[in-house]
Chain A
Amino acid sequence: MRVMAQMGMVMNLDKCIGCHTCSVTCKQAWTNRAGTEYVWFNNVETRPGQGYPRRYEDQETWKGGWTLTHRGSLKLKAGGRVQKLLGIFASPVQPKLADYYEPWTYDYQTLIEAPLGDDFPVARPKSLITGENTKITWSANWDDNLGGASEMGHLDPIVAKLNASVRRESEEKVRFELEKTFMFYLPRICEHCLNPSCMASCPSGAIYKREEDGIVLVDQDRCRGWRQCITGCPYKKIYFNHKSGKAEKCTFCYPRVEVGLPTVCSETCVGRLRYLGLFLYDADRVTAAAATPDEGDLYEAQLDLLLDPSDPEVVAAARRDGIPDDWMDAARRSPVYALAKTYRVALPLHPEYRTMPMVWYVPPLSPIVDVLSSQGHDAEDRTVLFGAIEALRIPVDYLAELFTAGRTDIVTGVLQKLAAMRAYMRDVSLGRDGDPAIPAAVGMSEESLYEMYRLMAIAKYADRYVIPTAHVERAHELEEIGCSLDFDEGPGMYESGPFGEASGRPAPVAVETFNALKQRQTSDTAMATTESGSLTGRVNLLNWDGNGAPPGLFPGRSDGDAP
């Protein structure tokens, strides 16, 4: 057993409202540069839908991920090493810009500078690739909210697969008429896989997995732009920067995670649906697990890799392998481990790609609840919900293709747990006694069901994000140590340098706002009434929530000066 730590994420899809805030803030933080106009480290797809880039899940076309050889060992779907090197001069399967979209801007200048005339000036779209006038025909979320699904819905690879399956012939097909369809949102980032096929595809060896936290990164100094990773990644989450000629990918916001801050997409998530925490896994067994013969068993195999951080044997092995104690503590409190392994409600995205993805999803119950509500049923009644999960085959089949390589029994089990939580907690919140038969029906105790409810529905900031800081001999803490001259009337009281305001050493902004934010989010009262009198006598207006007047907001009244 070789214990390694992995930062992981779980997204609770029932809470996603499809607002794209995660995508936008991520883009502002990471890919608002020339060459990355079309790059979305985080994107939100409406499912059923084609995804981004279009039809990326169709691995018969795109050749992403791993496959098994006749002898049962792992092989890149795009071919072996020699084959990959021979194809290096023109990558045989690589998405074109048209499979993403041609990024554009608008000619805003015309709006301002157009001469007076009878017609309103318009801002024409201009391609960011050619600079010419362009026609907008696609984007990263063109089929948002099932837009165009009645014509293009069948292009979703999963819909195509479901509609083509033999079993489906006697039954109904996936429908896209408004009243017969279902939908949910699927936010996607890089999966930071345990067995990444992008890494295995990279001829230069520029893509690496960090030993400490498992984050997968591209070494920009080693990448030579051979483009094989783009083919290799089945999730198409490696992008080619066409300006720098290098591959770029989601970084799991490692500069933030290292100091204990959640990723930008998590921090800004309106629905608070993202969970961050540690997994411990057995690195020695990854390849064997990824080579599990039956695709349907891959989910269980992946779950088996995750080690219980409370198990004394694991603790001893982790200590031997150099995992710090505070990381072990974080692993024990990890919300992602709880959701994935303890409660078994989080599922990996497309385990059949055999990459062992480490961004997990709680499948949405909402497609089923929506149908029930629209038909006038009580969507919080256990028997109604359980019956609907059995009866509404299409959403369940769809989710199974997405998360369990087609195993509907696993998805049904998860949905039943979510339904049980819903039904049980309704009684509790209405002041009635909880019905112990409900958790028993899904093999849970009342206590664990309630704990799961706390984690999933209350989802406090501190419970959602359990991020141990990186060990750099506590260097980052130095940034927060106050200067010894920062006392009242002392030379350092204004926290600025010798040349006036804002001169000298800048305060680390992320850390400053994080602490202010944390204080605000964990305290029950407005900031004004906390013991903030001990602050430096200055108020950061960016953190002020508008409630009350914290001390220091106004200068002190000087006695005897009044006119």
Chain B
Amino acid sequence: MSTFLWGILPYLCIASLVGGTVWRYRYDKFGWTTRSSQLYESRLLRIGSPLFHFGILLVFVGHVGGLVIPESWTEAVGVSEGLYHVNALLFGGLAGVCTLAGILILVYRRRTTGPVFMATTKNDKLMYVLLVGAIVLGLWTTLVSVGAGSEAHNYRETVSPWFRSVLLLSPDVTAMAAAPVQFHVHAIVGMLLFALWPFTRLVHAFTAPLHYLFRPYIVYRSRDGRTSGNRSSRPGWSGVGTSDRDRRH
């Protein structure tokens, strides 16, 4: 069971995430959007959406810090386990609470605003279950850790090595199996969320428009396509020639 959960499932999820994203980007660019519902309702959105998004960005940074950076590195720069842990719980907990509050506002808005609810698909609902589940379970691990005080489980000796070993293609199943159950559940729901990611509206996160900071304001593009009008060439009528002939000018 452990082998499947921590040795096979991660790779299935990664395959789904990468393969699904490539497939979606190739075949459904038109569907690749935030599907914003701000036109329908903006009063609650204006509170909930930034709260959730900024929160989840902080959570993401926290996860990268906790999972990718080995404990030995932080200790090498003089951050003790205790100090790191307090910080992680404090800021992680704060970001998590913001994220949860944000998404609860958004889900409440989605359920109670008629047009927004009507624009909600089954796909969205499944995604929300997994997303809220992952956030709640993540906060649960934090709560358990806070409750345990100094006795708290040090996930940087179990979960983090496993995570890195998965990325290095030699999964350290025993390390992860040694972690407490709350980490197990959180990780499984998280993996499922990532597996589902490319097939939901969450893909918009992959096209976060950071290049906006650097691109020129005015964009010129040459008229694409070689046919005029709105008619594409019909099957059986493609022109004779080689690929270099297709280059215009």
List residues of A whose CB falls within 8 A of some B CB.
81-82, 84-85, 88-92, 94, 96-97, 129-132, 195-196, 199-200, 202-205, 207-213, 219-227, 240, 242-246, 255-256, 258-259, 286, 322, 469-470, 472-473, 475-476, 479, 505, 508, 510
Contacts and interface: CB of A to CB of B under 8 A. Distances in A.
23 contacts: A89-B52, A90-B38, A129-B40, A200-B217, A203-B209, A203-B212, A208-B221, A211-B220, A213-B223, A220-B30, A221-B29, A224-B34, A227-B38, A240-B36, A242-B39, A243-B119, A245-B33, A256-B229, A258-B229, A286-B218, A473-B226, A475-B228, A476-B229
Contact of B35 (A96, A97, A245, A476): A245
B209 A130 contact: no
B215 to A, nearest CB: 5
Contacts of A91: 38, 42
Interface in B90-133: 114-115, 118-119
B145 interface: no
Contacts of A196: 218
Interface of B: 29-30, 32-40, 42, 45-46, 49-50, 52-54, 114-115, 118-119, 204, 207, 209-213, 215, 217-223, 226-231, 234, 249
Given A90-B38, A129-B40, 10 more contacts: A81-B212, A90-B50, A96-B42, A130-B114, A211-B223, A220-B30, A226-B36, A226-B209, A227-B38, A244-B30
Contacts of B34: 224-226, 245
Q: Report which residue of B30, B38, B211 has the largest number of chain A beta carbons within 10 angstroms of its beta carbon.
A: B38
A357 to B, nearest CB: 14
Contacts of B231: 479, 508
A90 B229 contact: no
A402 B218 CA distance: 25
A259 B33 contact: no
Contacts of B53: 89
A225 B38 CA distance: 10
Contacts of A508: 229, 231
Given A91-B38, A203-B212, A242-B119, A209 B33 contact: no
Contact of B118 (A131, A258, A476, A479): A131
Nearest to B234: A505
Contacts of B226: 472-473, 475
Q: Which 7 pairs show the lowest CB-CB distances between chains A and B? A: A203-B209, A255-B230, A200-B217, A221-B29, A245-B35, A245-B33, A225-B33
A205 B227 contact: no
Nearest to A92: B46
A116 B89 CA distance: 71
Contacts of A243: 119
A473 B211 CA distance: 35
B50 A222 contact: no
A449 to B, nearest CB: 38
A90 B46 contact: yes
B229 A224 contact: no
Given A210-B223, A226-B209, A200 B218 contact: yes
A245 B36 contact: yes
A221 B30 contact: yes
A241 to B, nearest CB: 9
A476 B228 contact: yes
A81 B213 contact: yes
Contacts of A505: 234
Contacts of B230: 255
B223 A470 contact: yes
Nearest to B28: A221
A472 B218 contact: no
B228 A472 contact: yes
A205 B229 contact: no
Contacts of B217: 199-200
Nearest to A95: B39
A475 B204 contact: no
B225 to A, nearest CB: 8
Nearest to B239: A475
A211 B222 contact: yes
A160 to B, nearest CB: 24
B194 to A, nearest CB: 20
Contacts of A96: 39, 42
Contacts of B46: 90, 92
A202 B30 CA distance: 17
B209 A224 contact: yes
A55 B114 CA distance: 26
Given A224-B207, A475-B228, A94 B219 contact: no
A85 B46 CA distance: 15
Given A212-B223, A224-B32, A89 B54 contact: yes
Nearest to A472: B228
Given A205-B211, A258-B228, A258-B229, A199 B115 contact: no
A228 to B, nearest CB: 9
Contacts of A132: 114
Contact of B213 (A82, A472, A476): A82
A81 B32 CA distance: 23
Contacts of A92: 46
Contact of A469 (B30, B45, B207, B228): B228
Nearest to A80: B213
A252 B240 CA distance: 32
Contacts of A479: 231
A427 B148 CA distance: 100
Nearest to B231: A508
Given A90-B50, A209-B219, A472 B227 contact: yes
B54 to A, nearest CB: 7
B222 A210 contact: yes
Contact of B218 (A131, A195, A226, A476): A195
Contacts of B52: 89
A259 B29 contact: no
Given A225-B33, A476-B227, A97 B212 contact: no
A204 to B, nearest CB: 5
A242 B118 CA distance: 11
A208 B219 contact: yes
Contact of B220 (A82, A208, A258, A473): A208
A258 B33 CA distance: 29
Contacts of B119: 242-243
A219 B29 CA distance: 10
A90 B45 contact: yes
Contacts of A510: 229
B209 A97 contact: no
A472 B249 CA distance: 10
B36 A225 contact: yes
Contacts of B212: 81, 84-85, 202-205
A244 B36 CA distance: 9
A211 B221 CA distance: 6
Contacts of B215: 205
Contacts of B229: 255-256, 258-259, 476, 508, 510
A227 B36 contact: yes
B118 A130 contact: yes
